[in-house]
Amino acid sequence: MIDRDKIVAALRESRSFGATQRTEIDGTAVFLKTGPSSSYDMLSAEAEGLEELASPDAIRVPRVFAFGEEDGIAYLATEWLEMARASRDVETRLGTGLAALHRTTADRYGWHRDNTCGPTPQVNPWSDDWVEFYREHRLAFQLDLAARNGYGGALQERGARLLQRLDRYFEGYAPQASLLHGDLWGGNWGCCDGEPVIFDPAVYYGDRESDLAMTRLFGGFGRAFYSAYEDAWPLAPGHRERCDLYQLYHVLNHLNLFGSGYLGQAQRLIDNLL
């Protein structure tokens, strides 16, 4: 383990924040992510999320060396990973590993702390009811944020109708509270030393289908990945319809982060579901 004082010394030498960088400490390559002191909660939640994902030893994640706040700069120091092109075998191992990760479960949905999905707050109160959790703390949260950002009209009217009908998508289906990456798009996984690695999580415990829905939203995952996952743990009937439901959370988040370019996609997903 790298000495925290040496990480702080490297931080003071760089005097930068709001950036990521590679640095060498005692011959070890370190990935240093920094931000203003106000970003401490976000970075500490990311550190805890990485440690949570590492605990079942199902898929490789970057080792966390340290996180904290020093002289007005919040920081997270993790293992630096040299990425390479992923082969079909690596994608297969990713699918098998993700299924193993999802078999790590909790008694309830949520997590012990809130975190972020990208820079957007993500609230994770423990809940015994998955439908209620997803309704209130994922879709309703994003719809409320969209309203505050000026996206009203049909999005809010039809979004409210969807929230009222949410139970229909879970008739005969009660998902386990699986350990989730939470933001598993193509840019948050890679290949290092011939094995898959995942990073930049938005961890919580919920329906495993939501992780898989995110993988299908922006691409970056091949047929070998999905075949390996299905072989390891087949999905339940109705998962294709629920895929739209789970993608909606992330599309609404992109609407709130990046603007109206995602409005049409969000409305189409809601219309398809209704």
Per residue in 194-215, pLDDT (tens digit) is 999 999 999 999 999 999 999 9
Q: Which tokens hold the place of 180?
A: 């989730």
Alpha-carbon distance of 134 to 14, in angstroms, equals 41
* 130 shares a domain with 18: no
pLDDT in tens, 230-266: 999 999 999 999 999 999 999 999 999 999 999 999 9
User: Domain containing 134 — which CATH number?
Assistant: 3.90.1200.10
* 99 shares a domain with 60: no
- Mean pLDDT in the chain? 94
Question: 6 or 226: whose pLDDT is higher?
Answer: 226
pLDDT at position 42: 96
Give the total number of structural domains in the chain: 2
pLDDT in tens, 69-91: 988 889 999 999 999 999 999 99
For residue 178, give Cα distances in angstroms to 111, 124, 166, 220, 263. Answer: 11, 14, 20, 22, 30
pLDDT at position 14: 63
* 94 shares a domain with 20: no
Show Cβ contacts of residue 158 under 8 Å, excluding neighbours closer than 6 positions.
267, 270, 271, 274
8 Å CB contact between 11 and 70: yes
Residue that has been written with the tokens 């495993």 in this structure: 208
Active-site residue, from 183, 200, 207, 244: 183
pLDDT at position 195: 96
Residue numbers of the domain that contains 192: 88-273
Q: Could you say which of 79, 109, 129 is where a domain stops?
A: 79
Q: What is the dihedral of CA 262, 47, 122, 214, to 10 degrees?
A: 40
User: Domain containing 60 — which CATH number?
Assistant: 3.30.200.20
Exposed / middle / buried, residue 169 (Cβ in 10 Å: 0-12, 13-18, 19+): middle
Q: Could you count the other beta carbons within 10 Å of the beta carbon of residue 135?
A: 17
* 116 shares a domain with 8: no
* 40 shares a domain with 135: no
pLDDT in tens, 7-23: 777 766 665 555 778 88
* 182 shares a domain with 46: no
* 70 shares a domain with 147: no
* 94 shares a domain with 74: no
Nearest to 229 by CA among 218, 219, 242, 215: 215
What residues form DSSP beta bridges with 70? 73
pLDDT at position 141: 98
* 142 shares a domain with 71: no
pLDDT at position 214: 98
* 218 shares a domain with 92: yes
* 93 shares a domain with 181: yes
Q: Could you say which of 79, 114, 136 is where a domain stops?
A: 79
DSSP characters over 155-170 = HHHHHHHHHHTGGGGG
Average pLDDT over residues 127-140: 98
Percent of the chain exceeding pLDDT 90 equals 85
* 93 shares a domain with 62: no
Pairing mode, if any, of strands 204-206 and 189-192? unpaired
The CA-to-CA distance between both ends of the chain, in Å, stands at 52
Q: Could you say which of 52, 79, 106 is where a domain stops?
A: 79
For the question of residue 129 being annotated catalytic, the response is no
Q: Indicate the pTM of the whole model.
A: 0.94
Average pLDDT over residues 178-188: 97
What residues form DSSP beta bridges with 109? 127
